[in-house]
Amino acid sequence: SGGGAFPIPREPQEDKRLFGFEEERPAWNSKLQYILAQVGFSVGLGNVWRFPYLCQKNGGGAYLVPYLILLILIGIPLFFLELAVGQRIRRGSIGVWNYISPRLGGIGFASCVVCFFVALYYNVIIGWSLFYFSQSFQQPLPWNECPLVKNKTNVEPECEKSSATTYYWYREALDISNSISEGGGLNWKMTLCLLAAWLMVCLAMIKGIQSSGKVMYFSSLFPYVVLICFLIRALLLKGSVDGIRHMFTPKLEIMLEAKVWREAATQVFFALGLGFGGVIAFSSYNKRNNNCHFDAVLVSFINFFTSVLATLVVFAVLGFKANILNSKCVALNTNKIVALLGNGIEANLIPHHINLTQVSQVSAEDYHQMTEIIRGVKEDDYEKLGLESCSIEEELNKAVQGTGLAFIAFTEAMTHFPASPFWSVMFFLMLVNLGLGSMFGTIEGILTPLIDTFKVRKEFLTVGCCVLAFSIGLLFVQRSGNYFVAMFDDYSATLPLLIVVILENVAIAWVYGIDKFFEDLKDMLGFTPFRFYYYMWKFITPILLLVLLGSSLIQLIMTPPSYSAWIQEEAKEQTLRFPPWGIFVCISLVVMAIMPVPVVFGLRYFNIIDENTSGLSTVSYKKGRIIKESARPGEDDDTSLIQGKSPSEAPSPMPGNSIYRKQSGGGSGAPDADTAPNGRYGIGYLMADMPDMPESDL
């Protein structure tokens, strides 16, 4: 889903002149390309490693019920809202919210800040996937077994206490430190991978729209090919059905817990990419009469089915892994029983049909039968025998998510696949594609407003943005970097995005006016949308979002900020509290992301940036220079920027084709003071002074 990632031919549209030149608006090549772009943006790593985990943790198949209900109550209405607003006003996020209500112009900037925070750590995950991808071209895979201590014959103790894949992830790949306070210097392997990831993003974005149509077809469709191949392969393995059965067995009592609903709502929210501004930007290149209601429903359900498909794959593979571990457990404990015969366990307790001379032939059922009998006879002394229960259910209940699922549980399962390097290459290539698809859309959410504001060339800004992000990203590839990724993932996006989306909803339903918006939709779609949306937008969705925001805040306050650290000596994870400076960083991430909203509101409210520029001269602060200009006669307010003042369009409640206003003065060096709603501070949409530069190069 990416910026500049799609070849969009320019389609001329009438009455858009800028400095007397024709201004053309790019449009999508085809409906398919647009849908794939939206799908690529919304389907990301979360579908593969967050959704299955939530499913398992929150009652298996029962979790799909709250998820679907909330998708219909929150997801689809808000997704439809963003699509419709972008398509109608034909602007990126900042332009849209400036137009709806200049005082709420900060919403767009808040989206940009969140996009930047997310891009910083999201690309680190792509870097990790690239590292594993590059290591997958060998047989056996390097995480297949524990390495030996250098120049000795014994195994690494850290690996022996954990497992080969866990050791490889924490020690070989991340070389992780014991806590967030121990920086430990840069990890060079990961630094190079992060550089490669940023290079890929930069190259895909810099070429803009010429070269990357093929990239998008590949990056959106390839993950589905891999998931389907994995599902078929996994279903042919022993134990996969156990995993799927475990996943779909509904635990109905869990559905009554508030936590389940909160997590389902948060997931719906992130899965669709609401509030990032990517959805608005993409839909702003549609034809005016495109049926965006159909798109909203289609993309939401494609996203839902992708999550379910990924969950099937994950549980089939985890079922297979649980089966293998269970077999090992049975063999190990059967050997214990053999050793204890006549020495704590009488031989006559073993059923006749079980042949203990061939331990490998003893099945899980046989083992459970033996332990039941021994437990019955040795009631009090059973614990001392040290026999484990060896149950597949227990193995499957160990919930794993995120990096633990992708880089530990899944990699371990793949080592047991026939032709494991092939499957490993496919899996990590899929993760890279899923990540890049979302990454392109996220970066576009940063570039578009900046290009429109500072009128720099896209190439320079793209390179500058990527270099800056890579430099800050070095924080995430030091030895303690994984802890910072967890911190950013938990704190930089959730609350700010929720607040942004609540404000978007309120801006349309209450500030702009829901009836007016329905008129616009009718004009645009050719039919009146269902009344369902009227009540959703006006009452139900904002109330649900406020409840979600409240419960998220309470949860944040109740649970002290903590992270899961890997302790090298004990070779296991341990939950540690963030140090005071860490808590400060967590809070400042949330504050920085939300800051633009009150700042812009304040500047507008106290007329530091006027909502209505009078005929008096105004001062424009542009890139450090103060330019004194006299305002044009007859232009009394900023929205005329968007309204175009052409007779045909003037009555329309939202601007149609003439988004750009003719500029008097024929392109004198600096734009006039009120070129943009908040152009005086260089934050906002200053119109391009290039003849055919679209408002975004999406």
Residue appearing with tokens 């790019």: 26
Q: Which two tokens stand for residue 422?
A: 């092939």
Task: Find out whether 149 is annotated in a ligand binding site.
Answer: no
Cβ–Cβ contacts within 10 Å for residue 401, how many?
A: 18
Q: At what angle do helices 364-377 and 292-340 cross, to 10 degrees?
A: 60
In this structure, the number of other CB atoms found within 10 A of the CB of residue 450 comes to 18
DSSP 325-352: HHHHHHHHHHHHHHHHBTTTB-GGGS-T
**CA 539, 544, 549, 555 torsion: positive or negative?**
positive
- Does 43 count as an annotated binding residue? yes
Backbone angles phi and psi of 625, in degrees to 5: -100, 140
Element (H, E) at 106: helix 106-135
- Distances from the Cα of 366 to the Cαs of 120, 344, 349, 396, in angstroms? 53, 19, 13, 21
User: Which one, of 76, 33, 113, 32, lies nearest residue 599 by Cα?
Assistant: 113
| CA separation for the pair 190, 173 (Å, rounded) | 8
36 annotated ligand-binding residue: no
Looking at this protein, which amino acid is placed at residue 304? Answer: F
- Residue 650 tokens read as 């003037």
The secondary element (H helix, E strand) that includes residue 57 is: helix 51-57
Closest among 531, 504, 513, 490 to 79, alpha carbons compared: 504
CB 38 within 8 A of CB 60: no
Amino acid letter for position 586: C
Full DSSP string of 142-184: TTSSPPBPTTSSSBPHHHHHS-HHHHIIIIIIS---SSTT---
CB 282 within 8 A of CB 86: yes
Flag whether 438 is marked binding. Answer: yes
Distances (CA, A) of 566 to 171, 477, 482, 553, 571: 10, 16, 10, 28, 7
How many CB atoms within 10 Å of residue 489? 17
DSSP-derived letter for residue 688 is P
Three-class DSSP category at 563: strand
Residue 501 · residue 79 · CB < 8 Å: no
Rounded Cα distance, 273 and 441, in Å: 9
Cis bond before residue 140 (omega within 30° of 0): yes
Sequence letter at residue 168: Y
Annotated binding site: 40, 43, 47, 303, 434, 438
Annotated binding site for Na(+): 40, 43, 47, 303, 434, 438
